[in-house]
Amino acid sequence: MSVWNAPVKSTPLNAVISLPPSKSLTARALVLALLAEEPTLLTNPLRCRDTELMIAGIQEFGAQVDEQAGGLLITPPAKLTPQTGIIECGLAGTVMRFLTPVALLSGRPVRFQGDEAAGARPMKGLLDALTKLGAQFSDMPKPGHLPFTISGQLNASEQLQQLQVDASSSSQFVSALLLISPALPFELQIEVDSVLPSIRHVEMTVAEVNACGGQIENLGGETGDWNTRQIRHLWRCRPACLRGGERHIEPDLTNAGPFLAAAMICGGQVSIPHWPAKTFQAGDAWRQLLTPMGARIYRSPEGSLVCQGNGVIGGTQCDLEAIGELTPTLAALCTLAVEPSKLTGIGHLRGHETDRLTALETEIKRLGGKAKASETTLRISPSPLHGDLVQTYADHRMAMFAALIGLQVPGVRIADIKCVAKTFPDFTATWETMLAGANGSA
């Protein structure tokens, strides 16, 4: 396995970093292009392991994908037709969740399989919902998990179908149903009768579907800021023809986190160009999350997000239920902070690439830190740190977590650094460019 010696940096940063495009927006755009009535030109799509698997996935259902300068031209099939009957999911939550309902739409059996670790990721809430719509699942050694074969026909006898979904383990169950909803021959109402984590990603799905001509209405009331919990979740989804056309993908604001956090750890400043003025990405919350920990952070008139730090990091107490994806980066800052921190609302991270609460607790302790994970919470307190070989558990965000600690703590080595390819294949090169103080472009 490839080990990377995390570079230490003892002088302030001054870098401009162009980020790779958003994983979540690219995944949604690919699925919507597959279901559209006309071709889509996707400009600035993310190319990484997760999105290559998604491209292969939509090709499996008959989409034609042509490389064009700066983008991908996607021509949807006249009818969804599985080619080999197998979808390779790797470890991508988006692929395993978003394409399973597409298989039901196709009406043909499709096998879903992935990495060994993918077999631990929750699917049950989605499989239960699809069963109510007519799906059957077989050859599933561990019920509610990959691998499985989906077959059966969409039950289209009703004009209106109401689905109660348990999405407590992943918002992607809801996003997956919302994404296919325009292609259904009936109106679908989706009610979530459980906790719903990562609500920002569901709001992103609704916005993306509707931007392509979908007709999804949120009947559950608006969420406020990322840390406001919504009481009732209900969406009405009407059948609609999805448009193609040109779609441009925003930079990945979640992957901005480690670079913004680096400015806080080393001092100095990091700027990220093309920060959208309005976005549904979880990573926009860095602006609110990092300020109380000591950052000066603002969007410049030219549209760059600028983060300035002085090397002193305060502790934080925050509820990350709506934006859990940001936790590993925030946990690195908490590990280096001068005060204790408490991160709450993150039980669903136990079903991410790895059980992130256990992984973070284990790796913080390995480096001499103090951490305690409970079912849904992570507490981190200041403690002298030392270098060691940090395990990454196939999790790109654990590698980025360790790179942040390594900026300040000599001797941090990162196991299986190649796992960053899940969303950011050029992570180490971009990191080194940042440390060299140059303008980096991913």
Ligand X SMILES: O=C(O)C1=C[C@@H](OP(=O)(O)O)[C@@H](O)[C@H](O)C1
Binding of ligand PEP by 92 (CB under 6 A):
yes
24 annotated to bind ligand? yes
Select from 194, 255, 193 the least CA-distant residue to 423. 255
Binding of ligand X by 324 (CB under 6 A):
yes
Per-residue binding string, ligand PEP, 344-383, x by CB under 6 A, is --------x-------------------------------
* Residue of 203, 208, 325, 363 marked catalytic: 325
- In angstroms, the Cα distances linking 123 to 132, 177, 308, 424 are 15, 13, 40, 25
Binding of ligand PEP by 94 (CB under 6 A):
yes
Identify which range of 127-135, 196-204, 338-346, 358-366 contacts ligand X by CB under 6 A.
196-204
Q: CA gyration radius for the chain?
A: 21
97 annotated to bind ligand? no
Binding of ligand PEP by 93 (CB under 6 A):
yes
Q: Report the residue number, 94 or 161, with the smaller CB distance to ligand PEP.
A: 94
Binding of ligand PEP by 397 (CB under 6 A):
yes
Binding of ligand PEP by 20 (CB under 6 A):
no
274 annotated to bind ligand? no
Q: Would you state the structure tokens that stand for residue 279, as one six-digit string? A: 């976005």
Name the maximum alpha-carbon separation found in the chain. Answer: 67
Residue 70, burial from CB neighbour count under 10 angstroms (0-12, 13-18, 19+): exposed
**227 phi and psi angles, rounded to 5 deg:** -105, 15
363 noted as active-site residue: no
Please, are residues 240 and 37 in contact by the beta-carbon 8 Å criterion? no
The least distance separating ligand X from the CB of residue 25, rounded to whole angstroms, comes to: 8
Q: Would you state the structure tokens that stand for residue 7, as one six-digit string? A: 């570079």
Alpha-carbon gap, residue 77 to 349, rounded angstroms: 36
Q: Report the residue number, 94 or 408, with the smaller CB distance to ligand PEP.
A: 94
Per CB under 6 A, the list member of 161, 171, 271, 335 interacting with ligand X is: 171
Q: Would you state the structure tokens that stand for residue 382, as one six-digit string? A: 């200041």
- In angstroms, the Cα distances linking 385 to 2, 313, 411 are 23, 15, 10
Alpha-carbon gap, residue 156 to 388, rounded angstroms: 57
Site for ligand PEP in 422-441 (CB under 6 A): 423
217 annotated to bind ligand? no
The least distance separating ligand PEP from the CB of residue 344, rounded to whole angstroms, comes to: 18
Which chain residues interact with ligand X by CB under 6 A? 24, 27, 93-94, 170-172, 175, 197-198, 201, 324-325, 348
* Residues annotated as part of the active site: 325
Which chain residues interact with ligand PEP by CB under 6 A? 92-94, 325, 352, 397, 423
